[in-house]
Amino acid sequence: MNSIFLCDLSHTSQRISSEYVPYAIGCIKSYFHANAKTEADIFLYKYPEKFSKEYFIHTPSLVGFSNYMWNTDLNYLFAKAIKEVNPNTLIVFGGRNYPLETHRQKKWFQDRPAVDAYIIGEGEQPFLELADIWLETHSIEEVKRAEINGVHSYYDGELNKTGPIRKDGYDQEPRIEDLTQTPSPYLMGYLDDFIQDPQLAPLMETNRGCPFQCTFCVDGVGSRNKIFKSNLERFEAELVYIAARYKGKYLQLADVNFGMYAEDIEISKAIARTKEKYDFPHHIQVCAGKNNQERIIKCSEILKGSLRFGASTQSLDKEVLKNVKRSNISFEKLIEVSKQVNDTPASTYSEVILALPGDSKKKHINSIDGLIEAELNQLRLLTLLVLEGSELATDDQRNKFKMKTRYRAVHRSFGIYEFNKKKLPSVEIEEVCVENSSLTFEEYIECRCFGLTATVFYNDRVFFELTQFIKNKGYKITDWLHFIHANMESFPEKLKEIYRQFSKETIEELSKSKDELENKIKTRPGYIESYIKGERGNNVMFNTQARAHLEAMDELHTVAFDCAAELTKIDLLPEDSLEKIYLKELKKYSLTKRQKFTDVESNLIKNFEFDFVALEAENFATLPTKQSSCSINFFYEKWQKEFFVDNIKRQGDTIQALGKIFSRIPIKKLQRTVSRESEM
């Protein structure tokens, strides 16, 4: 029987760069087996090492690759190596990482002659039609010349593509209108090996598409604007199937606007029922909806802290939002819903992207300040990636906003692999906007540095007890953060060095030439090894946050509390004043909750002059009026230990791994719980 390989490859030099079960290629396999004219054995691959080993066992005649920004170079190196061994193998790519403009699509093929066909949009039906032709003819020429909606090829020096063109000038991508038409790859058992892999986490979906048109997002193109859905019965059956086999605590939902639709209430209830029975999931990673915040809050309440409430504003500036075709909820509404969620177990977050069209240093920092004042728990401060497949990557947008870009390695997405006894050094390169008509490169660096201050001193309410004190004294948290940032030169040396290293890495990670950077990493002796060891190619913001919290928690507390005392004039009070004693005791309490947080087996008991357990129960809403001695136990609950161990299993315990964990998991889940010693 014919063999077909479908690959969702991930780099593995630093554990695994994309740790999700390969759901998409599982769907393609399910759809093929349900509808194909000619049967074939289909094998699914996540790890390049296993792919290399089994290729020569099964010798597939067709190999398909899911193409993303984190594996496109890896995919192509294997595609090229396959063609060198078996030139008659059909090589097919598919996925969102593909240009919108015809002239760029043509160049894409010219740069990658080993690729015979590219599938745009949702791949189930186009792949089925392509595979049917291949299994009948085994002719690469026939496949390239075939007119299949959603399949592009390069033949006789021309781009061959079939399908309607939208009014915006881009291809109308094929879609699956009823997701239940594709048999569930989970329930069919096709993903069992991946579910049981401790390095991977399950990926599920309840719908596809996005009604918004954000130009920086690959889901913002017109072809994706209609929403097509699955159903509750299938979702819950899949979830229970996974829960009975999966040993971890983490779930990724592929939905890009979760909580925005009425069905999401029932989906949340199904997840809550599963968690009650199977103790899974503890944390759900998903992009929350851009509007209907009341419904998202309801989902958060049902899931009792497993789901973050998201308000991914990207910017609070009206001109910037107009430039990227995005509309946010009003700032007043954002504050209202944020305060509602803060009274629940859920955590809140928002994203801000630096260097969007029309952005400036002032606008970017104003956006950060506004979200902090709205009391969002976590800010994800991102650089603007120019993604293939997004409208922002087109010539028109680049020229209109005078975008200047540089290139850097995608973090954790590099390594040295082997195929047919040949070494394949690989690195993924991403394009980053660092300048535009209203933002200079120097201002870009300054914004990144302020973003670091907001990240290490504010994110996930890492100094919640202190920020409540600051607010109770009548000051804004943003006043405190700017005061800290203005005093960087007086930081303790360890913390000062962390900031210096951050600025250095932020500049040095960027290259003006993609080809030069790729060639240097792949060919310069010892260079790619330095990436693998974690000396280069890291997510600078996340890694620095992890390093600061692991190595300089004492210094962070010194700066945070000293600046708060100076800002609020507490430093001028007598040593025996109640507020000065309180602030000193509060520092000890805060530090004990957070220091050496990776030591989850530690239990600490300390004595205090205030009943911090009672104050914690009231979210430090008021300041104490008198001293009240209390002996407090600091410990990790059983679920916290299991949750942390699960993440370490999948990510590792390096700074790079902890940086990734910090980017996804509320830090407060990794802080010690407290109780009075008398209540132990």
State how beta strands 630-635 and 283-285 pair: unpaired
**Taking the model in full, what pTM does it have?**
0.92
pLDDT at position 35 over 70: yes
Confidence of residue 655 (pLDDT cuts 50, 70, 90): confident
pLDDT at position 91 over 80: yes
pLDDT value for 345 = 56
Is the residue at 466 inside a domain? no
Indicate the SS3 state at residue 576. Answer: coil
Classify the C-alpha dihedral 170-174-178-179 as positive or negative.
Answer: negative
For residues 147 and 222, state if they share a domain. no
CATH no. for residue 98? 3.40.50.280
Is the residue at 127 inside a domain? yes
Is the residue at 181 inside a domain? no
Mean pLDDT, the chain, as a whole number?
92
Is the residue at 543 inside a domain? no
Indicate the SS3 state at residue 71. Answer: coil
pLDDT value for 642 = 81
Q: What is the pLDDT of residues 430-455, one digit of tens each?
A: 999 999 999 999 999 999 999 999 99
pLDDT value for 338 = 67
pLDDT value for 601 = 83
Q: What is the pLDDT of residues 38-74, one digit of tens each?
A: 999 999 999 999 999 999 999 999 999 999 999 999 9
State residue 76 phi and psi, 5-degree precision: -70, -35
For residues 104 and 240, state if they share a domain. no
For residues 152 and 207, state if they share a domain. no
Confidence of residue 313 (pLDDT cuts 50, 70, 90): confident
Confidence of residue 374 (pLDDT cuts 50, 70, 90): confident
For residues 149 and 80, state if they share a domain. yes
pLDDT at position 505 over 70: yes
Considering the chain, what percentage of its residues have pLDDT values greater than 90? 76
Q: What is the pLDDT of residues 585-627, one digit of tens each?
A: 999 999 999 988 778 888 899 999 999 999 999 999 999 999 9
Q: What average pLDDT does the segment 530-555 reach?
A: 91
Please identify, among 161, 191, 220, the residue that sits at the C-terminal boundary of a domain. 161
Confidence of residue 222 (pLDDT cuts 50, 70, 90): confident
pLDDT at position 329 over 60: yes
Q: What average pLDDT does the segment 70-83 reach?
A: 98
The residues, any chain, with a CB within 8 Å of residue 344's CB and separated by 6 or more, are: 297, 300, 301, 305
Is the residue at 361 inside a domain? yes
The residues, any chain, with a CB within 8 Å of residue 597's CB and separated by 6 or more, are: 549, 670, 671, 672
Domain span holding position 37: 3-161
Helical (H) or strand (E) element with 69: none
Among 244-248, 641-645, 662-666, the range scoring the smallest mean pLDDT is: 662-666
Three-state secondary structure along 182-193? CCCCCCCCCCHH
For residues 105 and 241, state if they share a domain. no
CATH no. for residue 330? 3.20.20.70
For residues 214 and 134, state if they share a domain. no
pLDDT value for 670 = 73
Among 304-313, 413-422, 662-671, the range scoring the smallest mean pLDDT is: 662-671
Is the residue at 425 inside a domain? no
For residues 353 and 243, state if they share a domain. yes
User: Exposed e or buried b for every residue in 612-650, given b needs 16+ CB within 10 A?
Assistant: bbebbeeebeeebeeeeebebbbbbeeebebbbebbeeb
Helical (H) or strand (E) element with 356: none
For residues 222 and 121, state if they share a domain. no
For residues 152 and 241, state if they share a domain. no
pLDDT at position 340 over 70: no
pLDDT value for 680 = 57
pLDDT value for 297 = 79
Q: What is the pLDDT of residues 232-245, one digit of tens each?
A: 999 999 999 999 99
Confidence of residue 667 (pLDDT cuts 50, 70, 90): low
Is the residue at 475 inside a domain? no
pLDDT at position 478 over 80: yes
Q: What average pLDDT does the segment 114-125 reach?
A: 96
Residue 60: how many other CB atoms lie within 10 Å? 22
pLDDT value for 665 = 66
Q: What average pLDDT does the segment 107-124 reach?
A: 97
Is the residue at 349 inside a domain? yes
For residues 221 and 143, state if they share a domain. no
Residue with token string 């991977």? 200
Please identify, among 129, 161, 193, the residue that sits at the C-terminal boundary of a domain. 161
Please identify, among 319, 354, 383, the residue that sits at the C-terminal boundary of a domain. 383
pLDDT value for 668 = 64
Domain total of the chain: 3
Give, in order, the Cα–Cα distances in Å from 203 to each of 24, 121, 254: 9, 19, 7
For residues 25 and 80, state if they share a domain. yes
Output the DSSP codes for 471-508. HHTT--HHHHHHHHHHTGGGS-HHHHHHHHHHHHHHHH
For residues 89 and 230, state if they share a domain. no
Q: What average pLDDT does the segment 343-372 reach?
A: 88
How many Cα atoms sit within 13 Å of 37 on the Cβ side?
12
Three-state secondary structure along 443-469? HHHHHHHHHHHHHHHHHHHCCHHHHHH
